[in-house]
Structure 1
Amino acid sequence: MFGVTGLVLITCFSFVGTSELYFVNDEAAHVRIQEVLVPEYGVIGGNAALSCLFTPAHSIYSVRWYKNGREFYSFLPGEIEHPVTVHRSMGIDVDVTRSTANTVYLRNLTLESTGRYRCEVSGEAPFFPTDTQYQDMLVIALPDKGPKIRGARKRYHEGDSLGVNCTAQSNPPVNLTWYINRMPVSETLLTRYPVFNSTHGNSTIHSSILGLAYLVHRKDFVEEDNRLTLRLRCVASLYDVYYKAKEVEVSLRTNEKQGLGRINHKPTVTENKTESMDSSLKYSSFTSGSLSIYSHYVHSKYLFSILTMTTLTYYLQ
Structure 2
Amino acid sequence: MCLINRSVRYSISSGWILVIMVLLLELGPSGGHEIIKFVVPAIADPRENANLICHYNMKIDHLYSAKWLKDDQEIFRYMPGQEPAGLSFPVPGVQLSRMPHCSPMACDLELTELKPTSAGVFRCEISTEAPTFRIAQQSANMTVAALPQRDPLIEGLAMRYMLADVIRLNCTSGPSLPPAELTWYINDREASFLDLEGPWESMPDSRGLTTQTLGLRLRAQRNIFLDNGRDGGTMRVQCVSELPLLSPTMQNRRHTTMMASLSPPPHLTNEKLHWPGSSASIISPSVKYVLLHIVLPMLMKTVLTRRSSCGCLI
Q: With structure 2 as the length reference, what TM-score do the two structures score?
A: 0.63
Aligned 8 A contact 2:154 2:171 in 1: yes
- Note closer, same or farther for the CA distance 1:190–1:128 as it changes in structure 2 (3 Å cut): farther
Residue 70 of structure 1, CA deviation: 1.4
Q: Does 1:110 align with 2:114?
A: yes
Residue 43 of structure 1, CA deviation: 1.3
Aligned 8 A contact 1:28 1:123 in 2: no
- Note closer, same or farther for the CA distance 1:237–1:199 as it changes in structure 2 (3 Å cut): closer
- Note closer, same or farther for the CA distance 1:117–1:97 as it changes in structure 2 (3 Å cut): closer
Q: Does 1:127 align with 2:132?
A: yes
Q: With structure 1 as the length reference, what TM-score do the two structures score?
A: 0.62
Residue 191 of structure 1, CA deviation: 3.6
Q: Does 1:19 align with 2:19?
A: yes
Residue 194 of structure 1, CA deviation: 6.1
Distance 1:51 1:215 in 2: 57
SS of the residue corresponding to residue 267 of structure 2 reads coil
Determine what percentage of the aligned residue pairs are the same residue.
23
- Note closer, same or farther for the CA distance 1:39–1:29 as it changes in structure 2 (3 Å cut): closer
Residue 125 of structure 1, CA deviation: 3.2
Residue aligning to 1:140: 145
Q: Does 1:178 align with 2:187?
A: no
Distance 2:229 2:109 in 1: 53
Residue aligning to 1:65: 68
AA matched with 2:18: T
Residue aligning to 1:253: 263
Residue aligning to 1:217: 221
Per-residue CA distance 1:223-249 (angstroms, 9 max, x = gap)? 699796534332323353655545555
Distance 1:99 1:185 in 2: 53
Distance 2:5 2:137 in 1: 49
Instruction: Give the greater-gyration-radius structure (CA).
Output: 1
Residue 119 of structure 1, CA deviation: 2.3
Residue aligning to 1:47: 49
Aligned 8 A contact 1:46 1:107 in 2: no
Q: Please list every run of 5 or more consecutive structure 1 residues that lacks an aligned counterpart in the other structure.
A: 295-317
Aligned 8 A contact 1:222 1:230 in 2: no
Matches within 5 A, 1:75-114: 75-76=78-79, 79=81, 84-89=86-91, 90-96=93-99, 101-102=105-106, 104-111=108-115, 112-114=117-119
Residue 54 of structure 1, CA deviation: 6.0
AA matched with 1:253: S
SS of the residue corresponding to residue 19 of structure 1 reads helix
Q: Does 1:208 align with 2:212?
A: yes
Residue 63 of structure 1, CA deviation: 3.2
Distance 1:10 1:247 in 2: 86
Aligned residue-pair number: 274
Aligned 8 A contact 2:35 2:137 in 1: yes
RMSD of aligned Cα (Å): 4.6
